[in-house]
Amino acid sequence: MAFRGRRLETATVSEDQGGFVRVLNPGHGWGIASFTSLDELPAMVKRANELSNAVRLDEPIRLADAAAQTADAGEEEIARPLQRRHAGGVERDR
């Protein structure tokens, strides 16, 4: 979505896939890699693992004792902040 002031100039729909991978090997640091295509995911997991192993720590990183939390963001969850941001401020061509 592109706005000029309060007026909506253009709106397009697209779909992107990607994300980031974090790896923490015991006694090592974090390895992080990002990807913009699911085809890259296996290589980026390998890369994050290599980066983690490249850092040796004297004192290991200890994670908090908490259950992992995951969530999937659907279109509605992504669109909601944009709708709130521009609520009432969109002028329509008549």
Residue 83 above 70 pLDDT? no
Tokens encoding 41 = 């995911």
Give CA–CA dist 51/33, Å, rounded.
9
Q: Is residue 92 part of a domain?
A: no
Each residue of 40-73: pLDDT tens digit?
999 999 999 999 999 999 999 988 888 876 666 6
Please answer whether residues 20 and 35 qualify as being in contact, where contact means their C-beta atoms are separated by less than 8 angstroms: yes
Structural domain boundaries, residue 29:
20-58
Mean pLDDT over each residue of the chain, to the nearest integer: 81
Q: Is residue 81 part of a domain?
A: no
Q: Is residue 28 part of a domain?
A: yes
Q: What percent of the chain has pLDDT over 90?
A: 39
pTM of the model: 0.56
